[in-house]
Amino acid sequence: MSRKIIHVDCDCFYAAVEVRDEPRLRGRPVAVGGDPQRRGVIATCNYPARDFGVRSAMSSAQALRLCPELVILRPDFDKYRRVSAQIQDIFRTFTPIIEPLSLDEAFLDVSESPLHSNSATRIAEAIRQRVRDNVGITVSAGVAPNKFLAKVASDWRKPDGLFVIAPDQVSAFVAALPVTRIFGVGRVTAEKMALQGIRTCADLQPLSRLELAQQFGSFGERLYHLCRGEDDRPVQTSRRRKSVSVEETYHQDLTHFSDWLRELAALMPRLEQRLDRLDSHYLVQGLTVKVRYNDFRIVSADHTETALDKAVFEHLLRQLWERHSAPVRLLGIGARLRDLKSPQQPDLFPEERERALREKRQ
């Protein structure tokens, strides 16, 4: 049986909540992010700000240069979590099968919902109206037979939009879909495809599994299915994480170690924000950095530090730089997580473990 999946995505979530709470900001360019005097980074911004070219992950200083009237507000994650909980409560009145992706988006499986005559389109409309009336912000929604297409659809008529891909529309819709809409196809992969004349999913479909694997590695198998609109992943109600990370691909290579450190300062607030979104059952049990050189080689380094420490990230990056001081096009940082909700292996040697930890601190 074909699933009925809804992907709900809040429009400019942090900024929308701030504008809701401060009506004087309505109609003005607003962003939520860090201090421009301290290498702060934009977490999100509203559409009036986007009209000036302001974007998420942009430095706050650059955002102000593009839009001098931009209002930059410090993030209030406690408030955003409360608003997210309100929205999740609304979701639960329609279905128990919910997979939150972050504070501001989620998948819902309404295949078995008896509400609104089991019409996923009408359920999505009702959810959007309920959020608008009860929470005071807008959300966009996509309705489709699977998660991949539902997520694509939710972005189709943003902001405050609803887009539906019915089962009998999948083939035609996917055929015309640009490959850049496939999650995992970044700038470099898209450029590689464009050199072969591949711009839409229809262009990808003639390639066999073997050809896709030869050109795109392990991602090739997933490309084979996604370019046909196929995605059999269920909506997971108990999704737990093993790690969290952020990364940035740069239009101009980072050629000096000082460039790496500058971008590290921009990535740190983003990683902190992602960690803040997690529930209290996660503990950091290690830090990692990753770089992709301009020859596309990827290397990484790890540390067992259990606190989010910028000095540790700097140390790891310096290790990579000393190993190979070449320009990089991607920089990423992350944290490995211990999930206290998952079954834990008993510690058979607690005294030895404690002694090792004391020696490490010294």
Residue list for the binding site for Mg(2+): 9, 104
In angstroms, the Cα distances linking 87 to 105, 127, 230 are 10, 9, 29
Given the residues 105, 112, 263, 359, the one annotated as active site: 105
Residue 124 corresponds to which tokens in the numbers above?
A: 């999505």
* 3-state DSSP assignment of residue 88: helix
- Write the Ramachandran bin of 39: left for phi over 0, alpha for psi from -120 to 50, otherwise beta: left
- Verify whether residue 105 is a known catalytic residue: yes
308-316 contacts, C-beta under 8 A, 24 or more apart = 308/268, 308/271, 308/272, 308/275, 308/284, 308/335, 310/264, 310/265, 310/268, 312/287, 313/264, 313/268, 313/287, 313/289, 314/261, 314/264, 316/287, 316/288, 316/289
* R_g (Cα) of the chain, nearest Å: 22
CA dihedral (346, 242, 81, 67) in degrees, to 10, reads 150
Residues annotated as catalytic (active site), given as ranges: 105
